[in-house]
Amino acid sequence: MTRTTDFLAPARLGRLALPNHLVMAPLTRNRATVDGTPTDLMVTHYAQRASAGLIIAEGSTPNQAGQTYPDITAIYTDRHAAGWRRVTDAVRAAGGRMFLQLQHGGRVSHPATTGLTPLAPSPVPLPETIFTPQGHRQAAVPHAMTTDDIRATITDFAAAARRAVDAGFEGVEVHSANGMLLHQFLADNTNRRTDGYGGSVQRRVRFAAEVTEAVADAIGADRVGIRISPASTVNGVLEEDTDSLYATLLDHLKGLDLAYLHLVRADPATGWYRRIRADWPGILIGNPDLTGLTTQAVTRATREMLAGGADLVALGRPFLANPDLVTRLRLGAPLNPVRDRYFMYVGGATGYNDYPALTDQAKPPSSPSPEALEGTRVA
């Protein structure tokens, strides 16, 4: 891909022609049904944002045990796939393209939500409460995954990827970031195993590598991306060896010829970012840690990300609050502010599908919803 800081110029992602360099990042919004099926609200939400160069849809669990919070999406039944097909059809009709993020929460789960004890590399609980259908609850101690659990989970990821393609997605993103299951295997404070999946860096990267390889085998590597968050402490993970950890993981992955590598909260000024950019031979999507949500701040951060070697730029909250973000950035128009109160755990269209586009008539502010609850975690 030719280097440019013009994020509105056309781009390519493998076989996909993209109208611009902007990617809508995956954002958990808890608007699915109880069983994880996408809803009418979601059809509207994603179609509204189809002008993004690429949409990476929110994390969808590949099995029941992988569910994090109530009302998140899933992709392990025909019903789930049919629900997602309605979303992808609407986005495609509006001119867009979608990948689906595959996310297993591991210890970021609760029996009150899934009916199951969480699975994780080791019996180390989340060091904070977690939201459930009954509100915030103390985190459960997870079961350490057996070798059979590991093999079954890898199989579930591959099956979920096939369902995603059948549901109309262009590809999938393997979520190995933000303290979810794959990241829990990477981090030494959550992975205390002494078998072939724990201990040394080589062993701790094995699960993430095997999941990604299985998904690539299932649908083709050119349809697969992976998301990582080096040095992140989200959901209580802690890496003592970030540089060697990700260098080793990339050694396993870069020969696969994946569609892309997606870096969370990427900062071109950091050493780990520069090392990863130099080491990764393919497309790199950078997700900047925005210091502001103004047109000027988003424009500056996006250009700096491209100048720093990213091929595409993933934006979360700017797309959340601005269905016509691409148009607003092109015109230099003001951005809608994000209403954090309606981000997660609330349901409904408020704070989801009622953000106005520039062409909309001014709307009165929405009145507070009696169902709104505290909590703005991005998964």
pLDDT digit string (tens) for 217-238? 999 999 999 999 999 999 999 9
Give the DSSP per-residue string, 266-289: E-TTSHHHHHHHHH--S-EEEEE-
pTM above 0.85, yes or no: yes
Closest by CA position to 314, among listed 14, 18, 21, 51: 21
Confidence check: pLDDT of 341 > 90: no
Q: Is the pLDDT of residue 247 over 70?
A: yes
pLDDT tens digit string along 284-314? 999 999 989 999 999 999 999 999 999 999 9
Q: For residue 104, what pLDDT band results from cuts at 50, 70 and 90?
A: very high
pLDDT-based confidence at residue 369 (cuts at 50, 70, 90): very low
pLDDT recorded at residue 346? 87
pLDDT in the model for residue 66: 98
Q: What is the mean pLDDT of the chain?
A: 93
User: What's the whole-number mean pLDDT along residues 84-97?
Assistant: 98
- Residues in Cβ contact with 80 at an 8 Å cutoff, skipping those fewer than 6 apart: 35, 36, 37, 38, 60, 73, 74, 163, 167
> Which residues are within 8 A (CB) of 114 and not within 5 positions of it... i.e. 6 or more apart?
64, 65, 67
pLDDT of residue 344: 84
Q: What is the pLDDT of residue 345?
A: 84
pLDDT at 364 > cutoff 70: no
User: Among 103, 1, 110, which residue's Cα sits nearest to residue 56?
Assistant: 103
252-278 mean pLDDT = 95
| CA–CA gap between residue 27 and residue 229 (Å, rounded) | 15
- At residue 5, the pLDDT reads 87
Confidence of residue 76 (pLDDT cuts 50, 70, 90): very high
Q: Which two tokens stand for residue 326?
A: 């691409």
Q: What is the pLDDT of residues 20-66, one digit of tens each?
A: 999 999 999 999 999 999 999 999 999 999 999 999 999 999 999 99
| Residue 5 Cα distances to 63, 304, 315, 334, angstroms | 40, 8, 15, 21
Asked whether residue 258 carries a pLDDT value surpassing 50, the answer given is yes
Token pair listed for 316: 């979360």
Give the Cβ contact number of residue 359 at 10 Å.
7
pLDDT at 368: 38
pLDDT at position 257: 97
Q: Over range 136-145, report the average pLDDT.
A: 97
Give pLDDT, residue 371.
Answer: 36
4: confidence class by pLDDT, cuts 50, 70, 90: confident
Answer whether 214's CB lies under 8 Å from 162's CB: no
What pLDDT is stored for residue 379 in this prediction?
Answer: 38
